[in-house]
Amino acid sequence: MYRNKAYLSIPAVLICMVCFPAAAAAEDKGPLPHALEFSEMLGMSAEDVFTGPDPPGSIFSYRGNTPEEDNVVFYYPDSIYLFWFQDRIWQVRADERWTGDVDGVSMGMSLQEIRKLWGPPINNRDENPTWTLPDQGYPVRIRLYFSDTGALKDMYVYRADW
């Protein structure tokens, strides 16, 4: 019988929050990693995240296109989202409020501006272009989403083998 993986993961997350509350107050290791470090966040465990300097601002479940795509998501106030599969991060999202950049690309830029910096995406026929990032022992991609006015509004760095 199928069980919703996101709901099974929520108790585990809550147990970690109760059992390791001091971990969030551990030594300050600086701000949550951004930009080029997004791909390094893939594969992080709950222990890795909870020993970091900042707890998430909120935790919620997110239903994908199919029940198999259910996720537990940690949201951070700087507009970074960590998507979990089982006990590992498989995707990192930055939304339009994020103020950082990835290799010179920041929110609000047009696809034409981004193509000048990064070159052509690996999927030229898609309105949401994707580029390959350095391998982390598994394939890593960055996918960009644009508003109706053509401004970059979301970026996702994810494991491409899931």
Residue 66, φ and ψ in degrees, nearest 5: -130, 160
Q: Choose the weakest-confidence range: 14-18, 23-27, 33-37.
A: 23-27
CA distance 127 to 4: 31
pLDDT band at 32 (very low <50, low <70, confident <90, very high): very low
- 33 pLDDT more than 70: no
> What is each CA distance from 71 to 18, 76, 89, 99, in whole angstroms?
21, 16, 10, 25
pLDDT of residue 16: 40
pLDDT, tens only, 99-112 = 988 888 999 999 99
69-86 pLDDT per residue, tens: 788 999 998 899 999 988
Instruction: State the average pLDDT for the chain.
Output: 77
Determine the Cα–Cα distance for residues 109 and 120; give it in Å rounded to an integer: 15
**What predicted TM-score, i.e. pTM, was given to this entire model?**
0.73
What ranges in 1-97 are assigned the alpha helix state H? 5-19, 38-41, 46-50
Give the separation between CA 35 and CA 66, rounded to whole angstroms: 29
